[in-house]
């Protein structure tokens, strides 16, 4: 029989008996809640000593004295001596002080539930001590489902409540406002949340501010649409900007280019409408005029629209053209720049686009136009005469041969180093280097396909020496992992691309997963195995389960996972890197390692 209560411990005296790990955890928990903590122990961990030295708590270096529990509000008996623990428990009970004895549920008069803490929001899980293992797992599930955004959300909800209360409304109206707040900011399926903008809140409260510009004048819909032209970066999802991510998380609709699909955040709330307009195998892309019309009509519905483009929107991305069309239609818009592939992709291939004394000028050029027009726009002959420069060519796989010819005809040294980089910054990155003269043939042999960039200039010489990206033990490996992907930094630093997905999988997570081949899933525990098993189609039939515990491996086997690779229980991160690396070599020897098509 338990009644969960919420205790206000601020300023209240609490006793921890014991100086080991459990005692330290209890003392820290109490301190975090503002309690006045005394620790009694003949010997204490250095961290407890440090807390005492800093004046955070009182540490009495001695044994527990009979009767002293009576002076406190809560007592934690956490020594490794059952006698002492029981003495403290009996004292506490006699003095009607609440007591908790480590590892002895019967001697406890209270338990601390497992908690998920998000700022002022706390979710407690308890089972009357019947199934602590279940409680731990449920807490872990909740820990995943309630992302860190709930902290700011709860604080904002508190502010909203204060404003609603200040209005002196009736119960019904008040509840309706709370409903509106909740349903507009919480995705009930994924539990993703967002903090509403000040303007939105004003609107809900019926206190709209006079707004600048065309939006919000009399007779117009209450919320004017806005289009954010956002650059997604070259493909590595980490290169999406913070501002871009904020716009995506707050969007009503996202219109995505093919090149940007890999950078769509998998935790994008399911309520956000995702519209792909890029080319897919066998499908033509949506024509540009139609995309512009789509942006205009979505914005006219009052939606917040993100137009997500590869790289930077205004570098061969028609960002300028779309901004013109929006302006023409009287739609409010903004541009959120992105990391252009033109600079970043060479970097990922070990090619610095400028280098003291070697290259003092960079030309970003499209190699596409020279096929389209008779009179060429790009002065290749001029570029050919600039030895201290780097040429970065976009959309140039098909025209590489003619570009190379033109440059050589214009006087460029045919031995100038050149590179072609396919899907730069992603797990599928390939780099082909050759001389300017030989690059077209080498690229054909290696079957390089778009998206790829070519780089011409002496800086390409550095590619081999500075190849930091694909020299890492796990480069080329792409793995799905259940959110949150904490504690996996070493995998990332070893070069693995981790796609951190929520489950159940959202459309955005599917889009991100599908954008590039996947090698497998990392399963930490049985609940990961179960969650991912339900979604296995998204990972392809042969996707390998890399299991980080016996429990996960066992469950994955039971669920009929195609291939299960168990990493030793409790393995250190570097072992994990080694296991994955070995397996990769193996598969490379025995054929394609792609399990997803």
Rounded Cα distance, 151 and 579, in Å: 37
Nearer residue to ligand SAH within complex by CB, 102 or 262: 262
Nearby residues of 366 by Cβ (< 8 Å), 6 or more positions away = 316, 378, 393, 394, 395, 396
Nearby residues of 367 by Cβ (< 8 Å), 6 or more positions away = 378, 393, 394, 395, 396, 399, 400, 403, 454
Which range, of 72-80, 198-206, 306-314, 401-409, touches ligand SAH by CB under 6 A? 306-314
- One residue of 87, 277, 365, 453 binding ligand SAH per CB under 6 A: 453
Nearest to 227 by CA among 327, 314, 318, 315: 327
Instruction: List C-alpha distances in Å: 88 to 9, 31, 195, 468.
Output: 20, 21, 47, 59
- Residue located via tokens 């990769």: 584
- Residue located via tokens 């060479």: 346
Rounded Cα distance, 398 and 395, in Å: 8
The H or E element containing residue 571 is: none
Site string for ligand SAH, 380-409 (x = CB under 6 A): --------------xx--------------
Nearer residue to ligand SAH within complex by CB, 27 or 395: 395
Rounded Cα distance, 310 and 296, in Å: 20
The answer to the question of residue 497 lying near ligand SAH (CB under 6 A) is no
Which range, of 58-66, 416-424, 482-490, 513-521, touches ligand SAH by CB under 6 A? 416-424
Rounded Cα distance, 415 and 267, in Å: 47
* Residue 453 C-beta: closest distance to ligand SAH, Å: 4
Nearer residue to ligand SAH within complex by CB, 144 or 430: 430
Rounded Cα distance, 518 and 597, in Å: 10
Nearer residue to ligand SAH within complex by CB, 314 or 529: 314
Q: Which of residues 317-346 bind ligand SAH (CB under 6 A)?
A: 317, 340-342, 345
Rounded Cα distance, 43 and 483, in Å: 40
The answer to whether 117 is a known catalytic residue is no
Residue 578 token pair: 């080694």
* Residue 560 C-beta: closest distance to ligand SAH, Å: 36
In this structure, are residues 350 and 467 in contact, taking their beta carbons and an 8 Å threshold?
A: yes
Half-sphere exposure (Cβ direction) of 543: Cα atoms closer than 13 Å: 28
Task: Write down the catalytic residue from 91, 257, 267, 528.
Answer: 257
Task: Write down the catalytic residue from 202, 279, 467, 514.
Answer: 279
- Report the Cα 147 to chain-centroid distance in Å: 11
- One residue of 84, 399, 404, 425 binding ligand SAH per CB under 6 A: 425
Which range, of 212-220, 303-311, 401-409, 435-443, touches ligand SAH by CB under 6 A? 303-311
Which range, of 6-14, 58-66, 293-301, 451-459, touches ligand SAH by CB under 6 A? 451-459
Rounded Cα distance, 274 and 268, in Å: 10
Nearer residue to ligand SAH within complex by CB, 151 or 366: 366
- One residue of 18, 196, 225, 310 binding ligand SAH per CB under 6 A: 310
Instruction: List C-alpha distances in Å: 66 to 17, 86, 94, 291, 414.
Output: 12, 11, 12, 79, 91
Total residues contacting ligand SAH by CB under 6 A comes to 24
> What radius of gyration, in Å, describes the C-alpha atoms of the chain?
30
The answer to the question of residue 542 lying near ligand SAH (CB under 6 A) is no
Rounded Cα distance, 310 and 261, in Å: 8
Q: Which of residues 230-289 bind ligand SAH (CB under 6 A)?
A: 234-235, 259
- One residue of 200, 267, 312, 528 binding ligand SAH per CB under 6 A: 312
Nearest to 528 by CA among 479, 494, 584, 580: 479
* Residue 313 C-beta: closest distance to ligand SAH, Å: 6
- One residue of 87, 248, 306, 315 binding ligand SAH per CB under 6 A: 315
End-to-end CA distance of the chain: 53
Residue nearest to ligand SAH (CB): 311
* Residue 28 C-beta: closest distance to ligand SAH, Å: 46
* Residue 396 C-beta: closest distance to ligand SAH, Å: 6
* Residue 500 C-beta: closest distance to ligand SAH, Å: 20
* Residue 309 C-beta: closest distance to ligand SAH, Å: 6
Nearer residue to ligand SAH within complex by CB, 284 or 589: 284
In this structure, are residues 336 and 260 in contact, taking their beta carbons and an 8 Å threshold?
A: no
- What 3 state SS string does 319-379 have? HHHHHHHHHHCCCEEEEECCCCHHHHHHHHCCCCCCECCCECEEEEEECCHHHHCCCCCCC
* Residue 401 C-beta: closest distance to ligand SAH, Å: 16
Nearer residue to ligand SAH within complex by CB, 317 or 417: 317
The answer to the question of residue 421 lying near ligand SAH (CB under 6 A) is yes
The answer to whether 279 is a known catalytic residue is yes
Binding site for ligand SAH (CB under 6 A): 234-235, 259, 309-312, 315-317, 340-342, 345, 394-395, 421, 423-425, 450-453
Residues marked active site are found at 257, 279
């Amino acid at each position: 029989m338990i009644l969960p209560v919420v205790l206000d411990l601020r300023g209240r005296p609490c006793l921890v008996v014991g100086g080991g790990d459990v005692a330290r955890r209890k003392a820290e928990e109490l301190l975090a809640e503002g309690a006045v903590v005394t620790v009694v122990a003949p010997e204490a961990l250095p961290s407890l000593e440090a807390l005492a030295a800093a004046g955070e708590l009182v540490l009495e270096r001695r044994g527990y004295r009979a009767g002293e529990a009576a002076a406190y509000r809560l007592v934690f008996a956490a020594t490794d001596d059952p006698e002492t623990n029981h003495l403290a428990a009996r004292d506490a009970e006699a003095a009607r002080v609440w007591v908790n004895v480590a590892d002895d549920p019967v001697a406890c008069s209270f338990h601390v539930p497992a908690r998920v803490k998000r700022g002022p929001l706390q979710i407690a899980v308890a089972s009357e001590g019947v199934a602590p293992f279940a409680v731990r797992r449920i807490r872990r599930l909740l820990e995943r489902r309630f992302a860190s955004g709930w902290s700011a959300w709860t604080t904002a909800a508190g502010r909203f409540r204060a404003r609603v209360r200040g209005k002196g409304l009736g119960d019904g109206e008040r509840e309706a406002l709370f409903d509106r707040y909740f349903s507009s900011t919480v995705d009930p399926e994924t539990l993703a949340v967002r903090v509403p903008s000040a303007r939105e809140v004003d609107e809900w409260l019926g206190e709209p501010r006079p707004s600048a510009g065309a939006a919000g004048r009399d007779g117009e819909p209450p919320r004017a649409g806005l289009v954010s032209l956002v650059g997604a970066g070259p493909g590595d999802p980490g290169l999406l900007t913070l501002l871009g991510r904020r716009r995506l998380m707050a969007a009503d609709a996202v219109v995505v280019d093919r090149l940007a699909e890999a950078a769509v955040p998998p935790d994008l709330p399911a309520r956000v409408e995702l519209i792909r307009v890029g080319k897919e195998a066998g499908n033509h892309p949506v024509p540009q005029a139609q995309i512009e019309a789509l942006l205009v009509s979505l914005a006219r519905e009052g939606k917040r629209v993100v137009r997500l483009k590869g790289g930077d929107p205004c570098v061969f991305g028609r960002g300028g053209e779309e901004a013109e069309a929006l302006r023409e239609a009287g739609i409010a818009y903004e541009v959120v720049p992105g990391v252009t592939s033109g600079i970043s992709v060479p970097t990922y291939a070990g090619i610095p686009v400028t280098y003291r004394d070697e290259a003092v000028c960079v030309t970003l050029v499209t190699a596409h136009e020279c096929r389209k027009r008779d009179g060429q726009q790009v002065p290749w002959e001029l570029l050919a005469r600039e030895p201290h420069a780097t040429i970065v060519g976009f959309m140039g796989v098909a025209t590489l041969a003619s570009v190379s010819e033109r440059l050589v005809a214009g006087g460029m040294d045919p031995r100038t180093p050149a590179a072609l980089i396919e899907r730069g910054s992603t797990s599928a990155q390939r780099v082909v280097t050759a001389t300017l003269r030989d690059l077209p043939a080498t690229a054909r042999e290696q079957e390089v396909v778009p998206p790829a960039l070519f780089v011409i200039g002496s800086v390409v010489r550095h590619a081999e020496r500075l190849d930091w990206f694909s020299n890492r033990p796990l480069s080329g490996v792409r793995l799905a992992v259940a959110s949150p992907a904490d504690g996996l930094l070493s995998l990332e630093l070893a070069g693995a691309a981790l796609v951190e997905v929520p489950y159940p999988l959202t459309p955005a997570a599917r889009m991100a997963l599908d954008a590039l081949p996947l090698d497998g899933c990392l399963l930490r525990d049985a609940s990961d195995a179960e969650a991912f098993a339900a979604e296995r189609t998204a990972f392809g039939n042969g996707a390998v389960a890399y299991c980080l515990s016996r429990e996960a491996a066992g469950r994955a086997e039971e669920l009929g996972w195609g291939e299960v690779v168990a990493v030793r229980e409790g393995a250190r991160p570097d072992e994990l890197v080694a296991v994955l690396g070995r397996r990769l070599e193996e598969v490379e020897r025995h054929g394609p390692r792609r399990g997803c098509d």
